[in-house]
Amino acid sequence: MSSEWLGDGQLVVVSNRVTVASPKKANQAGGLAVGLLAALREVGGIWFGWSGETTLEPPGPVRRQRSGPIQYALTDLTVDDFEDYYSNFANRTLWPLFHYRIDLATYNHRWYAAYRRVNRLFAERLQPLLGPDDVVWIHDYHLIPLASELRRLGVENRLAFFLHIPFPAPEMFATLPWQRELALDLCNYDIVGFQTETDVRQFLAYVDLELGGQVTHAGWSRVENRRFRVAAIPIGIDPDEFARMVETPEAQRQRQRLEDSLGGRKLIIGVDRLDYTKGIPERLKAFEALLESMEPSDHGVSFVQISAPSRSEVPEYQRLRVEVETLSGHINGRFSDADWVPLRYLNRSFSRTALSGMFQLSRVGLVTPLRDGMNLVAKEYVAAQDAEDPGVLVLSRFAGAAGELDGALIVNPYDIYQVARAMDAGLTMPLDERKDRHQRMIQQVRHHDITGWWSKSLRLLRERPPLAAE
Ligand code: GDG
């Protein structure tokens, strides 16, 4: 199997957090983990990263564990490194900056030193595991410097990077004190994959304006003596898996339970990690505007917002939680009746199977991030619909998925009245139009599925620069 994709070598995937797959956890994993698992199950190989454990002393040796075709290689982190590399630099510097929230980004030299230190540690621990023909596929903003650190140790393997979040506009990125170093780190990969063409453009604009680099040949670029390929490789889902999941008794039980509680009202649903990039307060205000615009006798709708807890050690997330709880209380206090609560805000997670059943029941799916690399919930929502009676997707223009899902009602998530109008349009849309829009979207979801994502990435990894780029 592996030779078809990788010749004599094997695939080595690196991500910050690695959770050893088990049937129990499969139903809880998020999109990134599900996607990487799909690739490794198909071609086999090593998955290297942080175990999720922290230590007070320097971490012990890498732990290896096999599960089917996947060899896991896990390292612990010290409590201090975890704090400054992950909770601080990754989540309080790069995450807000790359999502256009420099108002929430903190630039701290100690955090950056920890970020580089942990990337060096990852490189030192990964290098002994690599065979000469292995290809290494590194994921996300936690690990941007890993190629530079591996090269410093003499590693010559093909190295690819995939950024799951947006790449910001050059002027935005330029606010980071270590902008140049990190951009040059990206140029040390053979392949740099982004979610969308917009991200590719932003990165190449930065390379051109700030690094004096040039695009030399069909996607190949050169900066100083580095040659690398930049490509948009939009991540997808496994739509068949979702379609199967929604037919299971568990999904249908969840659907029925929710339906019984609605008293004949239509359902609007939102599902996101509780993250300020997802536009949850704006969405709640849009729902309030929708209720305001209706006669009380027309309030035939309930909104279920599921916000799985996320990064709760980070102060910006704690503040968001308070804001969302306050807004929910305000909206329910203002509009509830003795037998109806308009908004159900659930600060907990559900199994993917249960989510699929709730997606299928809803008339409107609200996916309105202020900025999002792709957003897999949008695609999962489409895949879970009954093609004969589908729900309507209301989708932010600032989600990467908006470039593909043209059958959605595309909105500016900052414009709460526009989002309210889109919700209303979704609730009242005739069946023919719903079917037509769904048909267009499911075709896109199938076209850019998870297999296409990893196979395109591996194909690019094997390509060598054309002679014209010499
Ligand atoms: C990053 C980028 C990019 C959500 N709530 C529950 C739950 N989820 C699952 C969803 C989906 C995944 O988590 C979330 O993926 P998203 O793509 O929507 O967002 P991020 O977590 O921000 O992911 C993003 C992605 O990486 C992949 O490249 O699309 O732009 O930000 O699969 O279903 N899963 C379970 N319970 C929940 O309550 N089990």
Indicate if ligand 1 lies below 6 Å from the C-beta of 374.
yes
Q: Rg (Cα) of the chain, in Å, rounded?
A: 23
Indicate if ligand 1 lies below 6 Å from the C-beta of 163.
no
For strand 220-223 and strand 214-217, is the pairing parallel, antiparallel, or unpaired?
antiparallel
Q: Which atom of ligand 1 is nearest to the CA of 34?
A: 32
Centre of ligand 1 to C-alpha 78, Å, is 27
Per-residue pLDDT reduced to its tens digit, 219-277 = 788 888 889 999 999 999 999 999 999 999 999 999 999 999 999 999 999 999 999 99
The confidence score (pLDDT) of residue 225 equals 85
Q: How far apart are CA 171 and CA 357, in angstroms?
A: 43
Indicate if ligand 1 lies below 6 Å from the C-beta of 26.
no
The confidence score (pLDDT) of residue 22 equals 75
Q: Which atom of ligand 1 is nearest to the CA of 164?
A: 28
Question: What residue ranges of the chain have pLDDT lower than 70?
Answer: 1-5, 23-29, 217, 465-470
Residue at 315: amino acid letter? P
The confidence score (pLDDT) of residue 24 equals 66
Per-residue pLDDT reduced to its tens digit, 39-96 = 999 999 999 999 999 999 999 999 999 999 999 999 999 999 999 999 999 999 999 9
Domains and CATH numbers, the chain: 2-236+451-465 (3.40.50.2000), 245-448 (3.40.50.2000)
Centre of ligand 1 to C-alpha 305, Å, is 15
Q: Which residue has the tokens 């299971």?
A: 248
State which of 99, 376, 380, 393 you would mutate to test the pocket of ligand 1, scoring each by most atoms of that ligand within 8 A of its C-beta.
376
Centre of ligand 1 to C-alpha 375, Å, is 7
**Which uninterrupted H or E stretch holds 304?**
strand 301-308
Residues recognised as catalytic: 164, 372
**Cα–Cα distances in Å, from 375 out to 152, 200, 356, 393?**
35, 17, 16, 13
Strand runs (DSSP E) across 317-430, as ranges? 343-346, 364-367, 392-396, 409-411
Q: Which residue has the tokens 């929604």?
A: 246
State which of 25, 375, 453, 457 you would mutate to test the pocket of ligand 1, scoring each by most atoms of that ligand within 8 A of its C-beta.
375
Closest C-alpha to ligand 1, atom 32: 31
Distance of CA 451 to the CA centre of its chain: 16
Q: How far apart are CA 159 and CA 28, in angstroms?
A: 29
Q: Which atom of ligand 1 is nearest to the CA of 373?
A: 30
Indicate if ligand 1 lies below 6 Å from the C-beta of 306.
yes
Centre of ligand 1 to C-alpha 275, Å, is 11
Indicate if ligand 1 lies below 6 Å from the C-beta of 235.
yes
Centre of ligand 1 to C-alpha 324, Å, is 19
Q: Which two tokens stand for residue 231?
A: 């490509």
The confidence score (pLDDT) of residue 1 equals 46
Centre of ligand 1 to C-alpha 374, Å, is 10
State which of 19, 32, 276 you would mutate to test the pocket of ligand 1, scoring each by most atoms of that ligand within 8 A of its C-beta.
32
Q: How many contiguous H segments (helices) and E segments (strands) does the chain have?
A: 19, 16
The confidence score (pLDDT) of residue 470 equals 46
Indicate if ligand 1 lies below 6 Å from the C-beta of 375.
yes
SS3 140: coil
The per-residue pLDDT of the chain, averaged, comes to 94
Indicate if ligand 1 lies below 6 Å from the C-beta of 351.
yes
